[in-house]
Amino acid sequence: MPVPGSHGADVPPAAALDLRDLPNLGASRERALATCAEFAATLADALGAEPGVVAVAAAGSLGRLEIASDSDLDGIVVIADALDEAAADELAARVYGALANGPLRLPKAAGIFRSPVRAATLCDPAVRGVLDEAPAVFGKRIQCLLDARALHGATAFAALQRRILEWYAGPVLGVAPQAQFTPLLNDLQRYVHAYAGWQHYKLERGTDDGWYLRQAKLRTSRVLTFAGLLLLLGESSRRCDKLDWLHAHLGLTPLERVQAVMSAHDPAAFRRLAATYEAAHALLADPGRRAALVAASPTDPAGLARPHPACFAEIHRLGGELMRGLTRFVLERRDDWDPDFFAYLLL
């Protein structure tokens, strides 16, 4: 067993997820857990107790434990605050070099997940509320709370997640525990709507990525991921131990979070939602369907006005069911969750 705070293969176990009638999600989960264990062992061998690497986490499909055959690795490399840029970049390259022969593609070289980040940068009080913060910082911070799962330095990563929650709590929740997690709710909504707006007009098409594939992900796995944190915030809204309660639930995957909250109020609603998500996941895990979505994707604004192709119709329908089911559940909690939570959610 790894020593607490060490950098061994201390990957936290996944919470129990009811996988009855969810064979595709179950198969993806098994592959993802095996991949996490493989990456953890690789990083333990490659890094040992390297003090410059505080933690390495996986976000995206691996963090959700929902990988498919062509999933890539959305990694978050947290490095020591004292390191200079050259040393930080060298350690990040060392991390990804160790994982290069693994079962998942590495993050894109120009993407936000390839660059390392410091805890001090993510938790700098001076940047609270800054609107033009770099996406590489804002994106990693919110991703740490949305779906990230430690591959290396799990104890340190859990401590970072708590620091981020404290950063969002600011001075208010410490003296008024009945208050809401308003800054975090605001940033979650900011991220959701900015992400959706960005994706709507992102018309680049590559060999394995295109507008319809990105929209299919947005309406299914992305929506479920956003909802996982939103439901935790709603469920915690009447509690006076919000920070501790939220931190204790961050180890759950998005689907586990949704299950935990929905099943406590309406188990049948969760089973319906899970069946819809299973069907959408099965479609998106099909390489032929993904290729068709990419091939049909528009590359100019005029293409957005054309009717959806047949390959997108069923995923679009399932995504609509998913969003409506989550919306109904949230609205039905108006007597269970704090009224201020709904006010901040809507206004």
Q: pLDDT in tens for each of the 347 residues of the chain?
A: 333 333 333 445 556 888 989 999 999 999 999 999 999 999 999 999 999 999 999 999 999 999 988 899 999 999 999 999 999 999 999 999 999 999 999 988 888 899 999 999 999 999 999 999 999 999 999 999 999 999 999 999 999 999 999 999 999 998 898 999 999 999 999 999 999 999 999 999 999 999 999 999 999 999 999 999 999 999 999 999 999 999 999 999 999 999 999 999 999 999 999 999 999 999 999 999 999 999 999 999 999 999 999 999 999 999 999 999 999 999 999 999 999 999 999 99
Residue 249, both tokens? 């639930």
Closest CA to 69 of 281, 306, 304, 242: 281
Residue spans of the domains in the chain: they are 1-169, 175-347
Closest CA to 231 of 268, 190, 185: 185
Distance, in Å, from the CA atom of 262 to the CA atom of 17, rounded to the nearest integer, reads 13
Closest CA to 145 of 246, 238, 255: 246
Distance, in Å, from the CA atom of 14 to the CA atom of 99, rounded to the nearest integer, reads 22
Mean pLDDT of the chain: 93
Please tell me what DSSP assigns to residue 241.
Answer: -
Reading across the β-sheet that carries 149-152, which strands appear in turn?
A: 117-118, 74-79, 53-59, 149-152
Query: H helices of the chain, where?
Result: 23-47, 60-64, 85-99, 119-122, 135-146, 154-169, 172-175, 182-200, 211-217, 223-235, 242-249, 254-265, 267-284, 287-296, 310-331, 339-346
43 within 8 A of 98, measured Cβ to Cβ = yes
Distance, in Å, from the CA atom of 330 to the CA atom of 227, rounded to the nearest integer, reads 10
Ramachandran sector of residue 153 (left: φ over 0; alpha: ψ -120 to 50; beta: rest): left
Give me the pLDDT at residue 3, please.
Answer: 31
Determine phi and psi for 74, rounding to 5 degrees.
Answer: -95, 95
Closest CA to 314 of 267, 282, 271, 338: 282
Give me the pLDDT at residue 13, please.
Answer: 54
Instruction: Give the Cα-Cα-Cα angle 220, 142, 343 (nearest 5 degrees).
Output: 80
Does the domain spanning 1-169 belong to CATH 3.30.460.10? yes
Determine phi and psi for 53, rounding to 5 degrees.
Answer: -100, 110
Closest CA to 318 of 345, 274, 291, 279: 279
Position of tokens 């060298």?
90
For the range 333-341, what are the long-range contacts, defined as Cβ-Cβ under 8 Å and sequence gap of 24 or more?
333/234, 333/265, 336/238, 336/265, 337/234, 337/235, 337/237, 337/238, 338/180, 338/237, 338/238, 340/180, 340/237, 341/180, 341/185, 341/233, 341/234, 341/237
Distance, in Å, from the CA atom of 95 to the CA atom of 100, rounded to the nearest integer, reads 9
Full-model pTM: 0.94
174 within 8 A of 258, measured Cβ to Cβ = no
Please tell me what DSSP assigns to residue 72.
Answer: B
* Bridge partners, residue 75, by sequence: 58
pLDDT tens-place string over residues 247-299: 999 999 999 999 999 999 999 999 999 999 999 999 999 999 999 999 999 99
Give me the pLDDT at residue 91, please.
Answer: 97
Give me the pLDDT at residue 5, please.
Answer: 35
Q: How many CB atoms lie within 10 A of CB 245?
A: 13
Position of tokens 């001075």?
171
Closest CA to 98 of 48, 136, 139: 48
